[in-house]
Amino acid sequence: MVFRLLRARWRHGWQAVPDPVTAQVDPMFRGFPEIAKEGTLTADTVSLCPAGALSVNPVAIDLGRCHLCGACSRVANSPIRLTSRHHLGQTKRDALIVTAGTTFEEYHARAEKGRDEIRRLFGRSLKLRSVSAAGCNACEMELNATTNANFDMLRYGIDIVASPRHADGVIVTGPVSANMADALEDTWNATPSPKLLILMGACAISGGLFASSPALDRRFLSGRAPDIYIPGCPSHPLTVVNAILNYLGRGL
């Protein structure tokens, strides 16, 4: 019996991603969208977007809304191409808007580091509380994956904890349903300051597909300035890890 387990362990080998900061993802991954310079979008293409992330004038994609479904890039002669670049985290809401001709490097350079006090306090140990506020369990599973043997976010001292009292910040997934509004507010209030607010996934950032639903109540976010925005649907674990590391001044 024990030999079977040892054989399984032997085959398991060494599975950790050696360096999550420089790691690449599969070329099939739908990541950073490039829009050709002088590219134009037709009204038909814009109407294909399930989340209303496209705009015609100026031609732009809002990564705060985009679910990276790729529908716009599949249209004939589309100026949009989704690259496999997965470093998508930002620190300002309007930095998530990609216009025609924006390169990945330009986009990535927009992400700011946290202020000195935050980096001093949390740079080597950051404990987060996760609140799923009507998340569909995809972002939740990817957030869980950041702590598995592959991505192992704990190597940087970043971990998810079981109580807001133990946390240095709250990471929110999901579009925030009216039925979760109170619980989210309570969790935030139970977390000691200074604290970070991180929004993970298109739904958390903008409401995503559900933005127009009367069943949401996003008042929690009005008047609060989130520290980190992590786009995606769901956000890839490497996108999550790198967005946080960037903020802590330990990224690419």
Partner 1 sequence: MNRVLLKNRAAIPFDDLPITSYEMLGDIVAGPLFGTMRLVSLFGVPEVRPAGAVRLVALFAADAAGTLAVTSVRSERGATIPSLTPNLPVFHLFERQLWEEFGIAFDGHPWLKPVRYPHDAQTPRRIEEGYPYFAMEGEETHEVAVGPVHAGVIEPGHFRFLCDGERVNHLEIQLGYQHRGVEKLFRTGPLAAKSTLAESVSGDAAVAHATVHAGLCEALGDTTIPRRASMIRAIGLELERAGIHLGDLSALCNDIGYLPGTQMFAVMRTEIINTSLALCGSRFGRGLIVPGGVNYDIDEKKKERIASTVRRIRDNAGLLAASIFDNQSVLARFEKTGTVDTATAREIGLVGPAGRASGLSCDIRLTHPTDAYATVPFIKTLLQNGEGKAAMGGDVYARAFIRHQEIQDSLRYILELVPLLETARDGVIAPVAAPRPGMIAFSLTEGWRGETLHAAVTGGEGEARRYYVKDASFHNWFGLALAVRDNGVSDFPLCNKSFNLSYCGFDL
Residues that bind partner 1 (CB under 8 A): 1-2, 4-5, 7-9, 11-12, 15, 25-26, 28-30, 48, 50-51, 67, 69-71, 74, 82, 130-145, 148-150, 160, 162-163, 174-175, 177-180, 182-183, 187, 203, 208-210, 212-216, 233-234, 236
Which of 95/211 has CB closer to partner 1? Answer: 211
Give the residue with the Cβ less far from partner 1, 125 or 163.
Answer: 163
Looking at the Cβ atoms of 89 and 175, the one nearer to partner 1 is 175
Backbone angles phi, psi at 243, to 5 degrees: -60, -40
Least Å distance, CB 39 to partner 1, is: 21
Task: Give 106 or 186: the residue with its C-beta nearer to partner 1.
Answer: 186
Only one residue has tokens 């579009």, namely 175
Please state, in angstroms and rounded to a whole number, the distance separating the CA atoms of residues 22 and 131: 29
CB contact at 8 A, 208 and 248 = no
Instruction: State which residue, 111 or 173, has the beta carbon closest to partner 1.
Output: 173
| Residue 199 CB contacts under 8 Å (≥ 6 apart), including other chains | 171, 172, 205, 221, 226, 228, 229, 230
DSSP state letters, 130-149: EEESS--SHHHHHHHHTTST
Cα dihedral: 105, 108, 109, 113 (round 10): -160
What phi and psi values does residue 2 have, to the nearest 5 degrees? -65, -30
Cβ count near 210 (within 10 Å) = 19
Nearer to partner 1, 125 or 148 (CB): 148
